[in-house]
Amino acid sequence: MTAQPATLNGGWTGFRAAVNGDDGAANTAATDLINLLDAVEVPIVALRRDLMIAGFNEAAADVLRLSPSDIGRASRDISVLAGVPRLEEQCSQVIASGVESRAEFRDGDRSFVIGISPFREGDRQVTAAVLTFTNVTAFRASIDQVIYERECTKAILNAVADPMVVLSADDRIQSGNRAFYAMFFELASLRTQLSEIVAGSHAYQRVEVDHVFPGEGQRTLILHARPLSLPGHPERRVLVTFEDITARKQSQVANDLRAIAERNDGLRRSEAFLAEAQRLSLTGSFSWRVATDELTWSDQLYRIFEFDPGMPVTLELIGTRIHPEDVPLLNDMIERARGAGTDFEYEHRLQMPDQSIKYLHMVAHGTRDEDGRLEYIGAVQDVTARRLSEQALGKAQSELARVARVTALSTLTASIAHEVNQPLSGIMTNASTCLRMLAADPPDVDGARETARRTIRDGDRASDVIARVRALFTNKESATESVDLNEATREVIALLLTELQRNRAWIQSELAHDLPAVTGDRVQLQQVILNLLRNACEAMVDVHDRPRRLLIRTEREDGDRVRVSVRDAGVGVDPQNMDKLLDAFYTTKTDGMGIGLSVSRSIIESHHGRLWAEPNDGPGATFSFSIPGDSESVYGRDTAMRPS
Amino acid sequence: MMPSRWLVSVVDDDESVRESLPDLLRQFGFAAEAFSSAEAFLASDVVSETSCLLLDVAMPGMSGPDLQQELTRRRWKIPIVFITAYGEGSVGPRLLARGAVRCLVKPFSEAALLEAVRAALGRPCSRPVTAT
């Protein structure tokens, strides 16, 4: 290596030569040593006793920016080394004392620790100082980081309200947050618990402690203990945090007390509600254990059966109250219930000691306990009032039907009377005139003849009316014949004309010329038309702001059907009520009975047709029926039906 | 003041009444005119000469009571005898209460007619000054 007078090696060469003198074998060893030093990354500089640079390695050349020409120069003349305070002084001391020393050195971002060691000759005399520059930049940065982290953590922990402390195995405080020191907690008083916690083998422990604080009284604390694993510290450390649950515990107790009070109160109230509800709804409840026939009744059920409260209830006792006609029903019910175990519902009567009748409606729900034993829970309602009113309603309905028929009849009678009275009036007046003309002097024979003729004509008119009425109401068997609905409609209009006029209704008819004949009962179909017209007329009674216009129309429909529709300008019908309209007894009118529409529907249906109502675009409604024409009629005598 | 022949006007939509009643009235010695509707009577030139009105109750269009009201509104005071084919019902008393002289139910007798017309003629008859 000496053959290569490298610049740096030259420095060492010079240093070595200056120290040891020239020697062949030693020269080889020195070259190896110099190479070794150059391989070391730590900068190394040697200073002579006079603090002149004796040599340096490659790392030093790089870091301290030294060149071979710096060998022999005073260290103070090297700008980098000159920046280290008291370096020369320290080096002199080391050389003088032979004791190592240390200095710190910062070069830009980099930090170094300078180790100053004495260099001893063979005679142990210190002849030089060796400076090693250890780069601690990363080390220092990590220390700064650790300090920063520690300060942050400390700030956080000190802000936490819960006291925290790290204890050593002998219960000594290692570290605590501010809250811990503010607590004035006497650890000594918890010696036993703390020892157990620290010695405990559990990963996490939770201990509730009641502790009396001077001036504050007793508080409840939860001690959470967690073992800490700290790298490089094999000793056992335990982190203990203290949670003060005094307030929470107090409010929980208060809540529990309140909840219990509310539950009791609620229970009392719902019991009271139930009893009241049972009393008001006339509903009693029972339970029935089928296997033992053990029956439990509510107070209301005792009242319904009129047994003394608390009396032991048996099926036999119940049997004494059952209406004799319903006893088989009850027995059947009991038999079914014993087997089925499913929910069931029954209605039966009671016969009370005073012979009065009660109607009961019972609903029961079957349940089974863990052992599979069947028990029914049920409700029994006294529906006597409802049943009685239903019966009364039924009676009222039939009465209503009778009244409706009578009313319809009296309306018709008035109409017929009017029709007959008109020509009768003519007859009487003409007859009087005739008599007077004949009694005149001289008799007015021509005038008398004319009035007599008019009398006969009015008589014919009266008998026409009677014939029409007879045609409508003769109670002959349902006559199936070919009917011209145009003609039938005209007759009905003629019969109703006066009534329509009296109601200020303007009737307009649009009768199709090409109307096919239908097969059916002429009188029945005329009754339907009559009903529809009268119904339309009644719907317009309260109309004052527009003409009471009534349009009756006959039309030929597809498939040779015939449609007759009656359109009014009345109050109209609610689409939702359309279906109900045709039901018996439903009416939108205050004085109508509605029965006419249901009878009409039966008639039309017996003619294989249908009857319907629809609201108009404008005011009012249109009622129509449609029946098959002759060509497609399926009407047969045996399917004919007389209206009831 | 009394005209030589009293004019009795008949208003009825029924043709047999219009034909028969005026003839009988003429037999009694009255002059008689017949109209098929209230509107036709109001439009005629005999309103001011009519001393008694035989008026049907139920008619298409303007009814008898409507005409009665219309005459009152126009301040024509013509005694009215209503004639109606509806025997039952309470229309009669109401019409009488509103000033009708009689209400005859068809068919009525010659005597009843004559009594009613005479009663009507006994009533004062007046017309507004401005009327023709």
**Could you tell me which of A521, A507, A512, A619 has the C-alpha nearest to residue A564?**
A512
> Would you call A449 an interface residue with chain B, using a CB distance cutoff of 8 Å?
no
In terms of domains, do A623 and A482 share one? yes
Q: Tell me which chain B residues have a C-beta less than 8 angstroms from the C-beta of A427.
A: 107
A1 within domain boundaries: no
Q: Which range (A3-12, A218-227, A534-543, B20-29) has the least confidence?
A: A3-12
How many pairs of residues across A and B have Cβ atoms under 8 Å apart? 85
DSSP state of A296: E
A522 within domain boundaries: yes
Tell me what pLDDT residue A486 has. Answer: 93
What average pLDDT does range A127-132 have in this prediction? 90
Reported residue count of chain A is: 644
Q: Are the CB atoms for B104 and B83 separated by under 8 Å?
A: yes
In terms of domains, do A459 and A373 share one? no
Distance CA B75, CA B98 (A): 14
Residue A451, pLDDT > 70, answer yes
In terms of domains, do A229 and A361 share one? no
Give how far A418 is from chain B: nearest CA, Å: 5
pLDDT digit string, tens, across residues B47-69: 989 999 999 988 878 889 999 99
Q: Are the CB atoms for A397 and A585 separated by under 8 Å?
A: yes
Q: Residue A481: beta bridge partners? A: A520
pLDDT digit string, tens, across residues A70-81: 888 888 888 888
Higher pLDDT residue, A232 or A525?
A525
- Write down the mean pLDDT value for chain B: 85
Q: Report residue A109's pLDDT band, with 50, 70 and 90 as the boundaries.
A: confident
A107 within domain boundaries: yes
Higher pLDDT residue, A467 or A326?
A326
A469 within domain boundaries: no
Q: Are the CB atoms for A197 and A225 separated by under 8 Å?
A: yes
In terms of domains, do A107 and A168 share one? no
Q: Which range (A26-40, A164-178, A373-387, A504-518) has the least confidence?
A: A26-40
Higher pLDDT residue, A533 or A272?
A533
In terms of domains, do A16 and A127 share one? yes
Give how far A618 is from chain B: nearest CA, Å: 23
Segment (H or E) for B52? strand B50-56
Among all chains, which residue has been given the structure tokens 């402390």? Answer: A165
Distance CA A462, CA A454 (A): 12
In terms of domains, do A179 and A106 share one? no
Q: Which residue of A has its CA nearest to B61?
A: A504
Distance CA A195, CA A211 (A): 17
A73 within domain boundaries: yes
In terms of domains, do A225 and A305 share one? no
How is residue A482 written in tokens? Answer: 């070919």
Q: Report residue B129's pLDDT band, with 50, 70 and 90 as the boundaries.
A: low
What's the order of all strands across the beta sheet hosting A164-168?
A173-176, A164-168, A233-244, A217-230, A205-213
Nearest CB partner across the interface for B16, out of A414, A422, A440: A422
Task: Supply the range of the domain harboring residue A206.
Answer: 145-244
> Would you call A502 an interface residue with chain B, using a CB distance cutoff of 8 Å?
yes
Q: Report residue A408's pLDDT band, with 50, 70 and 90 as the boundaries.
A: low
Residue A450 CB neighbours (<10 A)? 17
**Could you tell me which of B107, B131, B106, B124 has the C-alpha nearest to residue B51?**
B124
> Would you call B90 an interface residue with chain A, using a CB distance cutoff of 8 Å?
no
- CB–CB of B86 and A417 under 8 A? yes
Q: Are the CB atoms for A357 and A384 separated by under 8 Å?
A: yes
- CB–CB of A414 and B14 under 8 A? no
Tell me which of A95, A115, A135 is where a domain ends.
Answer: A135
**Number of structural domains in chain A:** 5
What's the order of all strands across the beta sheet hosting B7-11?
B31-35, B7-11, B50-56, B80-84, B102-105
Tell me what pLDDT residue A226 has. Answer: 85
Interface test with chain B among A418, A424, A432, A464, by most B beta carbons within 10 Å? A432
Higher pLDDT residue, A122 or B128?
A122
Q: Residue A361: beta bridge partners? A: A347, A381
What average pLDDT does range A289-318 have in this prediction? 88
In terms of domains, do A290 and A358 share one? yes
> Would you call A96 an interface residue with chain B, using a CB distance cutoff of 8 Å?
no
Query: How big is the CA angle at A392 (ends A390 and A394), to the nearest 5 degrees?
Result: 70
* Strand residue runs (E) in A334-413: 344-351, 357-368, 374-382
Q: Which value does ipTM take for this structure?
A: 0.81
CATH topology of domain B12-121: Rossmann fold (3.40.50)
> Would you call A592 an interface residue with chain B, using a CB distance cutoff of 8 Å?
no
- Write down the mean pLDDT value for chain A: 80
Tell me which of A192, A222, A244 is where a domain ends.
Answer: A244
In terms of domains, do A634 and A513 share one? yes
Residue A221 CB neighbours (<10 A)? 22
What average pLDDT does range A199-215 have in this prediction? 77
What sign does the CA torsion over A79, A81, A85, A87 have?
Answer: negative
Tell me what pLDDT residue B55 has. Answer: 95
Tell me what pLDDT residue A9 has. Answer: 39
Domain boundaries along the sequence of chain B:
12-121
Angstrom distances, CA of residue A67 to CA of A5, A49, A57: 14, 21, 10
Q: Report residue A590's pLDDT band, with 50, 70 and 90 as the boundaries.
A: very low
pLDDT digit string, tens, across residues A148-200: 998 998 898 888 888 888 888 777 888 888 888 877 666 666 777 777 777 76
A267 within domain boundaries: no
Tell me which of A436, A464, A492 is where a domain ends.
Answer: A464
Tell me what pLDDT residue A604 has. Answer: 86
% residues pLDDT > 70 (chain A): 84
CATH number at residue A432: 1.10.287
- CB–CB of A426 and B109 under 8 A? no
Interface test with chain B among A407, A410, A433, A548, by most B beta carbons within 10 Å? A433
Tell me what pLDDT residue B24 has. Answer: 93
The distance in angstroms from the start CA to the end CA of chain A is 142
> Would you call B114 an interface residue with chain A, using a CB distance cutoff of 8 Å?
no
What average pLDDT does range A47-71 have in this prediction? 87
Q: Report residue A406's pLDDT band, with 50, 70 and 90 as the boundaries.
A: low
Tell me what pLDDT residue B52 has. Answer: 94
Q: Report residue B116's pLDDT band, with 50, 70 and 90 as the boundaries.
A: very high
Tell me what pLDDT residue A632 has. Answer: 56
Tell me what pLDDT residue B33 has. Answer: 95
Alpha helices in A40-177, H assignment, sequence order: 58-63, 79-82, 87-97, 137-159
In terms of domains, do A429 and A486 share one? no
Give how far B2 is from chain A: nearest CA, Å: 25
Q: Tell me which chain B residues have a C-beta less than 8 angstroms from the C-beta of A504.
A: 63
In terms of domains, do A403 and A418 share one? yes
Distance CA A536, CA A549 (A): 10
Tell me what pLDDT residue A6 has. Answer: 33
In terms of domains, do A448 and A542 share one? no
CATH number at residue A54: 3.30.450.20
